[in-house]
Amino acid sequence: MKKNLKSFDFENKRVLIRADLNVPMDEGVISNDVRIRKSVPTIKYILDRGGSCIIISHLGRPKGKYVPEMSLKPVAERLQELLGYDVNFIADEKVVSEEVKKSIGELRGQFVVLLENTRFNPEEEANGEEFSKELCELADIYVNDAFGTSHRAHASNVGVSHCLPSAIGLLVEKEVDYLHESVKRPKSPFVVILGGSKVSDKIGVLENLIDKADKIIIFGAMAYTFFKAKGYETGKSLVEEDKIDIAKKILKKAEENSVDIILPEDTVVVSEIKSGADYQTVDSKNIPADKMGVDIGDKSIGRIEQELKNARTVIWNGPAGVFEIEEFSKGTFSVAKMLSELKGAVTIVGGGDSASAVEKSGYEDKISHISTGGGASLEMLEGKELPGIACIEEA
Ligand code: AMP
């Protein structure tokens, strides 16, 4: 087990918190502040116990250069509102410098500081030792609370663990509890639902969970590669030709392991993916040659509802269709509703799109866990060790 916040006495300590404040921005305005909200509990925990917080995060992909539009300044303002505590934003283009060290060194009493976007520094993504050492000089303890970047080994999340005592924060602890612990010993029936555009992104998850799941539901564009593997006509639907053999192997392995792989019985098809396009629902075995699948049909929705009825553990990652277009979002939003209504089941949602479908529907509080990490949550479900968590001291 990794050290967590309970492992340290924070009284009068300066704590370097790697948070994931990488929020979507629309012309300088934060369009979704979920990641900032989810970072608040760890900061509050440390403040409540007499510690000070020096928060670091990346935002976007400035690629080692100062890009004013990717400054964390708007994030500092939002964090201050959510925290109800002064957030001192230190706008240094290099993130940390002699002046930054001096001004933080001169702070007295409790404080919260947010440094500039770590990816402005070219050493961040290269995991440069100098940069992590400079960050370490600012604090006494390091806390990783940035789950979304834990699958990357960067200076601000892995490098800093080499020069400070370390722990995981509350957010990372919850992610590990759900994505690792509940999947290691799932309560049965365990149903895995995978969707989205690519089989290739989720092969690792399928391979890892095929031994543990009772049922695997596959929808979204991923399903069409499986349809092809079963010899169905897929028309113009998105198919990964080079993954058909893998899909065949997964179907065979599922049969050997007595795991049900459930593919959509019916599919909503169009000639062109656009809002207002004419659509119809067809049998999934016979998608017309000039059409492409964009959502699951009502029969499939009904079947999924049946399959989920008695489930005790459910993991969902990836939309059922092109849910960004309202006409093709029914499958995705229906699944969000079904999960929110399950009684007595552990429900875990990962991946930006499925998470946003749950949030948009207002079911956020009815899901056991919504992951803040896309790539990181997939890697964890693949059974991989994430460098940002592996580097933290053992308790
Ligand atoms: P992913 O990033 O792999 O989870 O995929 C998410 C994307 O898959 C979303 O942008 C959806 O619009 C897209 N998607 C889901 N179903 C389909 C489909 N049937 N055809 C094309 N794209 C799809």
Q: Tell me if 83 sits within 8 A of 43, measured CB to CB.
A: yes
Calculate how far, in angstroms, residue 380's C-alpha sits from the geometric centre of ligand 1: 21
pLDDT value at 100 more than 90: yes
Give percent above pLDDT 70 in the chain: 100
Calculate how far, in angstroms, residue 77's C-alpha sits from the geometric centre of ligand 1: 34
> How much is the pLDDT for 363?
93
CA of residue 141 relative to chain centroid, distance: 26
110 band by pLDDT with thresholds 50, 70 and 90: very high
| Cβ atoms within 10 Å, residue 156 | 30
Model confidence pLDDT, tens digit, residues 335-387: 999 999 999 999 999 988 999 899 999 999 999 999 998 899 999 999 999 99
Model confidence pLDDT, tens digit, residues 180-239: 988 889 999 999 999 999 899 999 999 999 989 999 999 999 999 999 999 999 999 999
Give percent above pLDDT 90 in the chain: 95
Tell which wins on pLDDT, 27 or 30.
30
| Cβ atoms within 10 Å, residue 197 | 16
Q: What is the DSSP string of 298-333?
A: HHHHHHHHHHHTT-SEEEEES-SS-TTSGGG-HHHH
Active-site annotation holds for 235: no
CA distances to 234, 282, 299, 303 from 307, in Å: 25, 21, 12, 6
201 lines ligand 1 (CB under 6 A): yes
Active-site annotation holds for 383: no
> How much is the pLDDT for 341?
96
> How much is the pLDDT for 352?
81
Please, which residues have CB within 8 angstroms of residue 223's CB and are 6 or more apart in sequence? 195, 263, 264, 267, 284, 293
CA nearest to 373, candidates 77, 126, 174, 198: 174
> How much is the pLDDT for 309?
94
Best residue for ligand 1 mutational test, from 322, 356, 360 (most atoms within 8 Å of Cβ): 322
Which of 169, 235, 352, 388 is an active site residue?
Answer: 352
Residue identified by tokens 């893998």 is 246
Containing 347, the helix (H) or strand (E) segment is strand 346-350
> Across the chain, which distance is largest between two alpha carbons, in Å?
71
Which of 35, 152, 202, 236 is an active site residue?
Answer: 35
Active-site annotation holds for 169: no
Q: Phi/psi of residue 268, each to 5°?
A: -85, 125
Model confidence pLDDT, tens digit, residues 112-140: 999 999 999 999 999 999 999 999 999 99
Please, which residues have CB within 8 angstroms of residue 106's CB and are 6 or more apart in sequence? none
> How much is the pLDDT for 302?
98
- What three-state secondary structure class fits 377? helix
> How much is the pLDDT for 220?
97
> How much is the pLDDT for 213?
96
Residue 343 tokens, joined: 């009684």
196 lines ligand 1 (CB under 6 A): yes
What is the residue with the minimal CA distance to atom 11 of ligand 1? 322
Which of 7-11, 206-210, 255-259: highest mean pLDDT? 7-11
Calculate how far, in angstroms, residue 240's C-alpha sits from the geometric centre of ligand 1: 13
Best residue for ligand 1 mutational test, from 353, 358, 378, 381 (most atoms within 8 Å of Cβ): 353
Q: Tell me if 41 sits within 8 A of 17, measured CB to CB.
A: no
> How much is the pLDDT for 19?
98
Arithmetic mean of pLDDT over the chain = 96
- The pTM assigned to this predicted structure is 0.91
